[in-house]
Amino acid sequence: MKHAGAATLNALEPLLARLRALPGIVERTPGCFYRGGAAFLHFHDDPGGVHADVRIAPPGFTRLRVESEEEGEALLARVAAALAAKRG
């Protein structure tokens, strides 16, 4: 599956800005976030729409669709909860 291209990342900029503001993750390359030394969140252009792969719980990534504002809000909520759980 292909990582999201520049056009997709530009469309996701409001969501990316909110993700950048969350404590505990760092954007190493556009749209690719890490927690500690491990990949945590990145985006894909998929025939079914734009999706985020996020490491919410072990062992691997969970794929979430982020085509709408509501889906973006759901992603933010799940990422924030996962980061808070790690800190707690």
DSSP class of 36: T
Instruction: Give per-residue pLDDT as tens, 14-46.
Output: 999 999 999 999 999 999 999 989 999 999 998
What separation in angstroms does the CA of 85 have from each of 25, 72, 81?
13, 20, 6
pLDDT of residue 18: 97
pTM for this structure?
0.91
